Amino acid sequence: MDLNRKSLGLGNKPALVLVDMIEGFTNPECPLGCDCPDVVAANAELLAVFRGANLPIFFTTVVFHSDDQARVFRERVPALNALTPDSHWVKVDHRLVMRDGEVLVEKQWASAFRGTDIDEQLRARGVDSLVVTGLSTSGCVRATAVDGLQHDYRVVVAKEAVGDRNMEAHAANLFDMHAKYADVLPMSDVLSDIDKRTE
């Protein structure tokens, strides 16, 4: 039986949170990566619209500065050890170049909220809701969406702007997030909502 849930949509001031759209995850040459040009293109489209509306934009990356950071996580997934400060893999995908005023949040865990100051930065900008995108749907996107809700933000996941190495996991997690934690919406709905704010 489905849960009774209400679609909340976005609030008065949404921010775009691009979760781990970095070379290590968008380039299949990296053990952590996948070939996802459609997801990159969708994020580029969202970036353009959020920039046009002068709304806050946050990128996240995963960087490990010492051996004791996320030790058990890295024991489970040794490929994460490639994500060091001097690595090309931790840089934002070259097709999604950051601009002045946009924020890069370094994290060591799945959620963009865990061990970072993103909540303080969002609140300082008056943000009340999030459009969450990026990689991967079943991992860092889901963790960020759940934590976004747990920090009392309305959360929208832009369906075409998230991806996963496993399509079954992708579909299952979109279903589950939409059931409990976020509104999973088509890109067209998100773009239309943001476009209306510039009229």
CATH number assigned to the domain comprising residue 146: 3.40.50.850
Residue 3 placed within a domain = no
pLDDT at 199 > cutoff 80:
no
Cα dihedral across residues 73, 57, 193, 147: positive or negative: positive
- Crossing angle (nearest 10°) for helices 37-52 and 187-196: 10
Residue 134 placed within a domain = yes
In this prediction, residue 2 has a pLDDT band, given cuts at 50, 70 and 90, of low
Which pLDDT score, from 0 to 100, does residue 5 have? 85
Residue 172 placed within a domain = yes
Just list the catalytic residues: 140
Q: Look at the block and give the residue holding tokens 């809701």.
A: 129
Strand pairing class (129-135; 154-163)? parallel
Q: What total of structural domains would you count in the chain?
A: 1
Residue 9 placed within a domain = no
Residue 68 placed within a domain = yes
Which pLDDT score, from 0 to 100, does residue 80 have? 97
- Crossing angle (nearest 10°) for helices 142-150 and 167-180: 10
Residue 57 placed within a domain = yes
Residue 7 placed within a domain = no
Question: In what helix (H) or strand (E) does residue 130 lie, and over which residues does it extend?
Answer: strand 129-135
Which pLDDT score, from 0 to 100, does residue 197 have? 84
Q: What is the pLDDT of residues 57-85, one digit of tens each?
A: 999 999 999 999 999 999 999 999 999 99
Angle, CA 46 vertex, CA 8 and CA 50 arms, to 5°: 80
Which residue did the predictor score with more confidence, 191 or 5?
191
Hey, is 157 helix, strand or coil? strand
In this prediction, residue 163 has a pLDDT band, given cuts at 50, 70 and 90, of very high
Which pLDDT score, from 0 to 100, does residue 144 have? 98
Which pLDDT score, from 0 to 100, does residue 60 have? 98
Residue 30 belongs to what domain range? 14-196
Residue 108 placed within a domain = yes
